[in-house]
Structure 1
């Protein structure tokens, strides 16, 4: 049986640990992230930290996922300010890339000397992040455009998410151009589906 007070205390401890982990990564890089240090800064035993996150990889993944949740909230707010489907896709991609470009934690993932270890958290082993982003984007588009076919929205969101992550890892053109291109692809795909 769940104890709401214990659950709330555990969630608070988890958030404090993730805050400490983020500060450690920014100060010392991913190589400098140590479970022992995070446990000490959080005020819990290493055993408690390992029980909560599993290991350093689990802690890192939880940190990246929390970051992705926060970014998804920004995307939702940006999309709500627009009026058309194309504008909403554009806002979603632009917000994601612009936020990531100015985010020290994302830069630590992409540019650190241990990126070979942690870059997979958003690429080859990034299924949790991809699932969160794809599901969140699908829900946002369907909220604003309930008339669209749900399966096609999910397909467009999947493609848009993968393209955006690709540009995040290897940017090759200005953010506005990328956002416009991805929005064009997603909008055309959904417009064709709505007239079929």
Structure 2
């Protein structure tokens, strides 16, 4: 009975997120209405509120889902090489290029969604950064077992914050940014690994 309830709730969550993503991509954040999501999903508005608390909760769930999609792609990019520089270059390049073409993320980063959605990627981005940091740190340790978990997390968090800043305010070509961040990570890990061996 419990399994059936959980399965039904998960279908509501995913269905609502899919519809909300379509609404935001099509009409922008201000065009997204909880009532519209409920109608399209075939449930009551209260069901949506019970699931996400409010529209901000729905927005955060959208951002986290988008992050999961990004991280799956990042995992694939990291798996394409066993060289740290090439791994991080590919991962950052994937992130920047995907952000530039993803309609939902475009809406988040435009004026239409800035006031309410952008903080989820900046001042309130702890869940996003934590998720990225964990996966990227694991990838570092897999390739470089000589690097301590703490140093791997520091490198992953710094690179994640840098990548997000370039997504929010793109000033340079993606390839240049990817090379720059990969170089910083590689140098940091190299220096820290050397210090670790000496100690």
Partners in 2 of 1:21 and 1:35 — Cα distance?
Answer: 8
Task: Check the 8 A contact 2:56/2:116 in 1, yes or no.
Answer: no
Partners in 2 of 1:91 and 1:145 — Cα distance?
Answer: 17
Who is 2:87 aligned against? 88
Q: Does 1:74 align with 2:49?
A: no
Q: Map of 1:78-117 to 2, 5 A cutoff?
A: 78-117=77-116
Task: Check the 8 A contact 1:17/1:39 in 2, yes or no.
Answer: yes
Shift, 1:91, TM fit: 1.2
- Ranges in structure 2 where 5+ consecutive residues have no aligned partner: none
Q: How many residues align?
A: 195
Please list the CA deviations of residues 127-149 of structure 1 after superposition, one character each: whole Å capped at 9, or x if unmatched.
11111112221122223333321
Who is 1:190 aligned against? 189
Who is 1:165 aligned against? 164
Q: Map of 1:15-164 to 2, 5 A cutoff?
A: 15-164=14-163
Shift, 1:35, TM fit: 0.7
**Which is further off, 152-161 or 83-92?**
83-92
Q: Structure 1 144/9 Cα, relative in aligned 2: closer, same or farther at 3 Å?
A: farther
Aligned residues: CA RMSD: 1.2
Who is 2:9 aligned against? 10
Task: Check the 8 A contact 1:20/1:38 in 2, yes or no.
Answer: yes
Q: Secondary structure of the equivalent of 1:113?
A: helix
Structure 1: which 4+ aligned runs deviate by more than 3 Å? none
